[in-house]
Amino acid sequence: MTFLQRIEQAAASPGLRLQVRRSCILLLFAIAASPALLVAILNQRDLSSDQILVVVAASSFALAFHAALFVHFPRIALLTLLAITVLAIPQVWFTSRYGWPLDPNALSLIAETNIAEASDLVGSISSSTFLILLVPILLAVLAWPPRPGTKPPPSKPTRRIVALSAIGLISTAASATWSGTLGSPPVPDPTFPPPPTGQALALRAAYPASLPILAWDYAAERRALHHAAQLASDYRFGATPSRARNKRRIYVVVIGETARADHFGINGYPRETTPKLALKNDVISFTRLYSRWTFTRLSVPVIVSRKPPESTQATFHEASIVTAFKEAGFRTYWISLQAPVGYHESPTSVHAKEADRTFFLNPVDYRSQGSHDDAALPVLEDLINQDSNSDLFIVVHTLGSHFRYSDRYPRDFAKFIPDRTTRPLRLFEAADKEYLVNSYDNSILFTDHVLSETIDLLHKLPEIESWIFYVSDHGEALFDDCRQNSGHGQASKATQSVAALFWPSRSFALENPHLVANLTLNRGRLASTSMIFETLASLGGLKIPNPRADNDLTNATLRVPTEIADVERLDAQACLALEESEPFIP
């Protein structure tokens, strides 16, 4: 008897076939359980023990419920298990890289990827990755049950498994709902779905129980974003060019994140956090620019549009500066390192959608490391080279210095140490101040690198008129005053101070000396980020009806920015009130 004949004879044994099928099914279940187990093991989101319990329990209940289905519907159960297992493989890859499973942000990136980008992505995936995807298919083929005969009635153990699994899933979901709903507590402006918290957040990591929730979240986020975009989709400024076009123009706006002016070396900070920018004599840095708001969802719309700085609404009926440049004949692009959807991100993405083309480079939000800000540089260079004849207006929205600060820069930029510990840093723990300040300053150092590289990219094109305007959305507290606050969200000089600077090409400076002179004049004056819209319009040579001349940093005379007029006195007032044991309300 030959070797192959022996294998065929062994395979013909009913007992062996049953054992193979069971082993393959167990392997499929093990793969399906791996995403949730990986989340629990890595725990990069600092989940509590209760949250980890929700992740493991909900995943286990879902898989147990599915296992019970094999008694009655073996083929259907195997096919659905195959689908769950195949989907688990990218979940494992994504979780191992970013510390969290696929979420609406990642799905939005996939949905917005065009054919060319998808082809490039598929081409970059190694053949071994595709081979891994074949493993569940092979296991399913080996586990395929024989032709079903008469179906036996469900046994009591099977009914118990189904019942207990269903009860477990329902109770886990109810617990998550009770702890903060499947989203989070109600908010004053419900335009966009609020972010999940507590056990509701954990439930979204409990693969495969999380799959229907993921689909629901994605649909809700996209629906809210589409509705908000419709509010200003038909708005027109009536913008026209106010200057003659003598050469090609490329204007770049870089929106920073959580960067405060007094931690920039070029503004007098004792540490060399901006060594590259310090070597560029033509950089104009603003030292007294403040934001009315201390969180992204309200601060960025004030920067890019004429949205009143006092407004607490996430949306605005007017379009942004992107549409104004489009009306004036510019090709417009938006490159973002921030997530495309979310409670904090969607109010900005509404304006990103106004661009002729958008690029979202991060499949995760600020809570994970994701890509560093220099990922925008090759995209920016490609746009400049590909669109070689058009005037370009490009917005680059970075993650800058958002906590965790050490996630925002490569290890090569860990100049100020120690910047991390063996455990996750605690933003609100004063004992971690040294690590927090060091890692924050390292993130500023990396911002210096990204901005310097962007300037060098345009500086190499002397035949083009260009400029770069950088402005952060808000600042960050680092245990600066008597209140010992950290992070942002509260009113203070540190959280409302924003780093901002302007770099003009030589040709732009020669053609527009009065604009550069007035920017230099205003670099140390008290100013608000609500002045950026008019400033960008003037720098871009746009004529927009009903201009607000005194709301423009290129104007010699500025209005008194009442929305932030008291910001430089906030800290002293708060500390005085604290000493007198009186509540301080800014």
Spatial separation of the C-alpha atoms in residues 51 and 457, rounded to whole Å: 46
Residue 237 inside a domain? The answer is no
Residue 243 inside a domain? The answer is no
- Number of neighbouring beta carbons within 10 Å of residue 249: 23
- Strands (DSSP E) contained in 460-535 are 465-472, 477-478, 486-487, 500-504, 527-528
Torsion, CA 272, CA 277, CA 283, CA 288, rounded to 10? -40
Task: Say if residues 533 and 550 touch (Cβ distance below 8 Å).
Answer: no
What CATH code is carried by the domain that includes residue 555? 3.40.720.10
Give the global pTM.
0.80
Task: Look at residues 377, 372, 361 and name the one whose alpha carbon lies nearest to residue 121.
Answer: 361
Same domain? For 114 and 184 the reply is: yes
Same domain? For 208 and 261 the reply is: no
Residue 16 inside a domain? The answer is yes
The distance between the two most distant Cα atoms of the chain, rounded to a whole number of Å, is: 99
Same domain? For 254 and 186 the reply is: no
Same domain? For 276 and 199 the reply is: no
Count of structural domains within the chain: 2
Same domain? For 406 and 453 the reply is: yes
Same domain? For 167 and 253 the reply is: no
Task: Look at residues 497, 511, 514, 510 and name the one whose alpha carbon lies nearest to residue 553.
Answer: 514
Of the residues 229, 256, 287, the one at which a domain ends: 229
Residue 36 inside a domain? The answer is yes
Per-residue pLDDT of the chain (586 residues; tens, 9 = 90+): 554 455 455 445 667 778 888 899 999 999 999 999 999 998 767 788 888 988 999 999 899 888 888 888 899 999 999 999 999 998 998 888 777 888 887 787 677 655 555 454 455 455 666 788 889 999 999 999 887 654 444 444 545 544 555 555 555 555 544 444 444 444 445 567 777 888 888 999 999 999 999 999 888 888 887 887 887 888 999 999 988 888 999 999 999 999 999 999 999 999 999 999 999 999 999 999 999 999 888 999 999 999 999 998 888 899 999 999 999 999 999 999 998 877 667 888 889 999 999 999 987 776 777 899 999 999 999 999 987 789 999 999 999 999 889 999 999 999 999 998 878 788 878 889 999 999 999 999 999 999 999 999 999 999 999 999 999 999 999 988 777 888 877 889 999 999 999 999 999 999 999 999 999 999 999 999 999 999 999 999 999 999 999 999 999 999 999 999 998 887 777 777 766 665 545 5
Task: Look at residues 267, 290, 289, 262 and name the one whose alpha carbon lies nearest to residue 278.
Answer: 267
Same domain? For 472 and 339 the reply is: yes
Domain coverage including residue 517: 248-579
Same domain? For 222 and 278 the reply is: no
Residue 131 inside a domain? The answer is yes
- Enter the tokens of residue 128: 């071994």
Residue 585 inside a domain? The answer is no
Task: Look at residues 321, 367, 369, 360 and name the one whose alpha carbon lies nearest to residue 341.
Answer: 360
Same domain? For 31 and 138 the reply is: yes
Task: Say if residues 508 and 391 touch (Cβ distance below 8 Å).
Answer: no
Same domain? For 169 and 275 the reply is: no
Same domain? For 203 and 281 the reply is: no
Place of tokens 């140390």: 524
- Enter the tokens of residue 323: 């549409």
Spatial separation of the C-alpha atoms in residues 470 and 102, rounded to whole Å: 31
- Number of neighbouring beta carbons within 10 Å of residue 392: 22
- Strands (DSSP E) contained in 94-163 are none
Same domain? For 184 and 315 the reply is: no
